[in-house]
Amino acid sequence: PTITFTQPTGEATEVTVEEGTSLMRAAVTNGIEGIVGECGGQAMCATCHVFVRPEFAGQLPEVSDDEDEMLDCTTAERTDSSRLGCQIKMSGELGNIVVDVPSDQV
């Protein structure tokens, strides 16, 4: 699978990842600006906040209670498209997912 990260500037970066890798991990490994992942993927920091494009949102698992709570603590305002990158596990089914990186992360 691949992930396209779009920055607030419009600059897009596509990365290819292994199945099972989280979207947050993929971003950090590839030096994607604006995704921090401070807590290491425990759904405890909200610095991996991304906006998932609507066409991909339906392919993701439901937001868990932990994720839901953290999404109320994001720096950039939460929207209907908000997800925690660390809770998105990449799989072939997601194909080429496109996410927008918030302008403020920490």
- Check binding of 102 to ligand FES (CB under 6 A): no
Among 37, 82, 101, 102, binds ligand FES (CB under 6 A): 37
Contact 101, 82 (CB under 8 A): no
Provide Rg for the chain, Cα atoms: 12
Does residue 45 belong to the site contacting ligand FES (CB under 6 A)? yes
Tell me whether residue 42 or residue 79 sits nearer to ligand FES (CB atom): 42
**In this structure, what are the phi and psi dihedrals at residue 27, rounded to the nearest 5 degrees?**
-70, -45
Residue 27 contacts ligand FES per CB under 6 A:
no
**How far is residue 62's CA from residue 49's CA, in Å, rounded to a whole number?**
16
Tell me the number of residues near ligand FES by CB under 6 A.
16
